[in-house]
Structures are given as C-alpha cells and as structure tokens.
Amino acid sequence: MSKQVRLGASSITVNPVGLGTNAVGGHNIYPNLDDEIGREIIRTAIDEGINFFDTAFYYGPERSEELIGQVVKEHGSRDKIVLATKGAHRSVNGEMELDNSPSFLRQAVEGALKRLQTDYLDLFYIHFPDEGTPKDEAVGTLKQLKDEGKIRSIGVSNFSIEQLTEANKDGYVDVVQSEYNLFKRDVEKDILPYTSKNTISFIPYFPLAAGLLGGKYTKDTTFNDGRAKNPLFQGETFLRNLEKVEQVREIAQAKNAEVAHVVLAWYLTRDSIDALIPGAKRPDQVINNLKTLDVELSHAEIEKIDNIFT
C-alpha cells in the first residue's frame, strides 16, 4: 500500500492513484462494454490497494454505480473504500437536463446510496453547474446531508472560478474536479491557485488528453472516433503535440517507465493535486496505472516537462 493523502480539509485519506470508472458500466459513453469485465476491473483495483473510486449517475446512466456497489458489497470492504460519485443530471422526456436545486440534490444522493448499496457516500460532487441555482445554496444542501451522515465530504465539478468562489462562500467545499492536462492548463490561472489557498483538493479528469499523453500514437495513427474532430489531433498541431510527447519519452526511458506514468507523476507534483483518477477498460490497465507511484521526478525534470508544454 502506498502512502495515503488527505482530500482537502476533510478527514478522508486515499491512495494518490485512484480509479475513474466511466468505462465501468458507462454504456452511454463507450460502446460494447462488458459488465463482468467492469466488475473485474473494480475487484482488481481493490486487490491491488486502490481505495478511491470515482463514478457518477451519468455513467450508464446509473450502471457504473450499480456495478461498483455490487463488487464492494461482495468484497466486504466498504470501510476501506472511498466512494466518490457525482450528480446533477435529470432525465426529462429522454433528454438530460442539469439541476442543482436542493430538492434534486437530495434525490440524487438518495439514489446513489441505493445503487452503491451503502448508507453513506465518502464524497459527493455536483457534477455540472446549472443556470439557476445559487451555488452556495446547492452546497449548503450538501452540508446538511453531511451533517446527517449521508455524505462525508463535498465536491464540485466543472465549475468556473466565479461559481467555485460562490459555492465555497461558507468554506464547505473539499474537492474540485475539472478537466486538466498538459495540453489544457487553463485552471492554472485561477482554479488551482484558489484550491491551493483554500485547502481544497483538485482532481483532474482527462489527464492523458484522450490518450495523446499516453505515448502510444505516431504521426501515422488515424482516428475514427471523437478524437478525429479534436483540435489536439488535427494536422500540424497533432505533429507538434507528438514532438512534445517524444520529449517526455526521453525522461520516461531514462526511468524505465512509460510516458503516461511520467505525465501522471508530474501532476502529483502540482499544488493541491493530491490524487488522480485515471480510467481503465481492462484489469491489466488498473495495475499499470499504479506504476505511476514508482516514478520520482527531480526538480529539473519537473521544470523541463513544465517548459515543454508552456
């Protein structure tokens, strides 16, 4: 078991490498997922010492939470597991709408408790901000649920700095989750300084930039999914991005590590990034993700990676 890190100002501690589970039961996100493979991914993670699982109502919808709940119950390890889930989506006439209202957030938490087969959630995030609900009012509802023992800590996801500041008016936010990777560093301007100053943990999603920072692609790689329209994968931009990845590969090879491990290790050197939630579509990928914890970067290497992507 690796060292444990604290999430924000909460009492919750986790392995710095957790598991993002949108490919466990996320049938609306990835085609042709196998639920039994999803369960095996969770089993493998628990057996390998991962104790931080990130899911959401939206993944499935609902199915990811259900599969995780099944495995945690069969494993009998609830007290050793940190379950984080997210809510904000409501289905209206077959369409998903965002709702942060107090009444809906209560419904979202109660639904997640049932699907995860537990009587408390370690971390509950507002998945996306809606347009109408005051953010401090939404977070205030989560504080009430925390006082009731139904959640242990409070998170917000995909909030702007203005929305985060409003949400944290009373100091209740423990964790922020947003997109962040070496190609998309907007949060360094305002969100990361705010989380660092206010003892809030920042959890990045899409840390490997749709696989581009995994070091697996070449100039001849073609894409027939969403990456085909992603600006990072277009023409000369794609070639320049590959050159940057190759510079990281030099560092990785010197450490007998993979590019992805070095990139993920770099994130853990950033202020307020206390834990990561890389995903996995197979059990062996779960084990591979944990190799991140074997990578130690020198100050010079940290600075070099920073400069490559500046």
- ∠ CA(128), CA(186), CA(184), 5° rounding? 90
Using alpha carbons only, how large is the chain's radius of gyration in Å?
Answer: 19
Cα gap 202→213, rounded to integer Å? 20
- Out of 59, 125, 217, 267, the active site residue is 59
How many CB atoms neighbour CB 173 within 10 A? 31
Cα gap 169→182, rounded to integer Å? 30
Contacts of 299 by beta carbon, 8 Å cutoff, 6+ apart = none
Beta bridge partners of 97: 90
Helix (H, G, I), strand (E, B) or coil at 77: coil
Residue in 186, 203, 209 with CA at minimum distance from that of residue 267: 203
Beta strands in 162-262 (DSSP E): 175-179, 201-205
Cα gap 301→310, rounded to integer Å? 14
59 is catalytic: yes
Contact, 65 vs 308, CB < 8 A? no
Torsion of CA 65, 214, 47, 63, to 10 degrees: 10
Q: Compute the residue count for the chain.
A: 310
**Tokens at 124, concatenated:** 């509950």
Report CA-CA distances (Å) from 286 to 19, 162, 241: 8, 35, 26
- Residues classed as catalytic: 59
